[in-house]
Structure 1
Amino acid sequence: MREFPQDIQIFLEPILAEGHQVWLVGSRANKTAHQNSDWDFIIIANEKLLKALSGTPNPGNIDALIVTDGDSFVCPWKRPIDGATKSGSLSTWQWKITSENSASYVGSKAIDGWNFERNEIAVRIPSSELMPAITY
């Protein structure tokens, strides 16, 4: 079972409870994260969730990319550094679901002014991972 900090669980619980698919992507899914890495998620949802999240403050350590049409995604919060809205498409990322709980895609990372592409993985987060175990 994957462990999530409490603030990440608080963010994810209502989204998973509504039945939306949540995929962990980026450095945390690819095991290249450092202590201060943010949490990157692809969330397959609807306009209602995108609008609800857009009306909340940016949590700072979460990058949520909301897919509402099966392909295009947008982050509900503007980037603090430049006020831009992050957007793109799963098809551009060559997103491919490889099993019930994993996917692959071509990610990119800007380092020292250079943009590097690399093959990455995504891990689906089942709602059961966040629910506490029931003891009798």
Structure 2
Amino acid sequence: MALQVGDKAPEVLGINQDGNEIRLTDFAGKKLVLYFYPKDNTPGCTAQACSLRDEYAVLRGKGYEVLGVSVDSTASHRKFIEKYDLPFNLISDSDKTLSEQFGTWGEKKLYGKPYMGMLRTTFLIDENGIIEKVFTPKEVNTKEHGKQVAGPPAP
């Protein structure tokens, strides 16, 4: 069952590109953009990561940290971060523990054939670790996702 608005996010989020454990408490007092994506260095995932990179200063100004999650290895994440100058951590969820907790590992279709994979989903988590918004796979616009998450500019 996917986590939903109002649910508490899990404490242990996973291992980042440098092999360090990332915990929800690392973001105490901050809001978190936790986005799940299928694969490093693919067109849609690269567009999404770069869109979040391009809006990173705006997101930080609104109190958010950004954290990406895929099943790629820590080495793949390091290369992806370096190649696209991403200013945020990426979690390696190779055992799918976090994806399964959040309900983002599920059935997809490619050319009409079902297979299991990462469902592109973004969770906005408040300062207390509570999910305040979910962007479902149908709602995520990879090229404009940074703007989707940041919302309208502050007045």
TM-score normalised to the size of structure 2? 0.31
Higher percent of residues as strand = 1
Task: Name the structure, 1 or 2, with higher relative contact order (CA <8 Å, separation 6+).
Answer: 2
TM-score normalised to the size of structure 1? 0.34
